[in-house]
Amino acid sequence: MLNNIFEPIYSGTFTLTSFLICTLVSLALGVVVTLAANFKSRLSKSFLLSIVLIPAVVQVVIMLVNGSVGTAVAVMGAFSLVRFRSIPGSAKEIVSIFLAMATGLATGMGYVTLAVLFVIIICIAMICAGFVKIKDKDDLIRELRITVPEDLNYAHAFDDLFEKYTSDTKLLNVKTTNMGSLYKLFYKVELNNEDDVQRFIDELRCRNGNLEISVSIPSSVENTL
């Protein structure tokens, strides 16, 4: 008897009642997925609205092509003409899109109860993942800018400090400033410990004549797929 709740609410041709039930469930589950995706995140309004509507849109497409090979081929051809262009999304955003599409597939085939159970389980997992703190290697990567006088041999002036405070250092850019009397060095470094940043800067100041030094987080730190 328990297995009966996972049977589709329609078989073959769908009715108006089954269509309305599936559509309302798709929209409701889309809201649930949106709330889970936005938990401890700052997603755009347009993206959140898309997640709400994707399950209903996919569900209608699945209902229309259900049992009709010709219609399925026609819909596939129509979708192949559409090109999706967007900025690279984070891993969480892509997972949310796939979850919304999977929800629409389930409701479109009539498996309403299965879709509800599936969304609840995955959303709980997404929310729990938001509380998990995993130390990522990228969290220790910084952009280091050092200004040095022109008479300083910067090629090896900081080698011992880099060895002491960083596990990896790469000089990305060098340019002159102040009519050529100063050099600005741009490094990408991976710190051994982020708590040592102040001591690192203090020792660098002793080498560069107390000129300008900045340590910053890279502008692009979002995990993407």
The torsion of the CA quartet 31, 57, 116, 29, rounded to 10 degrees, works out to: 0
Position 8 scores a pLDDT of: 81
Position 146 scores a pLDDT of: 95
Same-domain pairing of 90 and 144: no
Whether residue 72 lies inside any domain: the answer is yes
State which residues form the domain around 172.
137-216
Same-domain pairing of 103 and 174: no
Same-domain pairing of 163 and 57: no
The answer to whether the CB of 14 falls within 8 A of the CB of 108 is: no
Whether residue 151 lies inside any domain: the answer is yes
Pick the last residue of a domain from 131, 148, 168: 131
Pick the last residue of a domain from 115, 131, 147: 131
Position 93 scores a pLDDT of: 84
Q: Is 217 helix (H, G, I), strand (E, B) or coil?
A: coil
* Model-wide pTM > 0.75: no
Same-domain pairing of 35 and 53: yes
Same-domain pairing of 178 and 68: no
Q: How many domains does the chain have?
A: 2
Same-domain pairing of 20 and 81: yes
Whether residue 224 lies inside any domain: the answer is no
Sheet containing strand 213-216, edge to edge, reads 166-177, 182-191, 141-149, 213-216
**How far apart are the C-alpha atoms of 185 and 182, rounded to whole Å?**
10
What CA–CA distances, in Å, run from 41 to 92, 130, 132? 9, 9, 14
Same-domain pairing of 202 and 97: no
Residue stretches of the chain with pLDDT short of 50: 221, 225
Q: Which helix (H) or strand (E) holds 200?
A: helix 197-207
Same-domain pairing of 23 and 126: yes
The answer to whether the CB of 168 falls within 8 A of the CB of 162 is: no
Position 212 scores a pLDDT of: 93
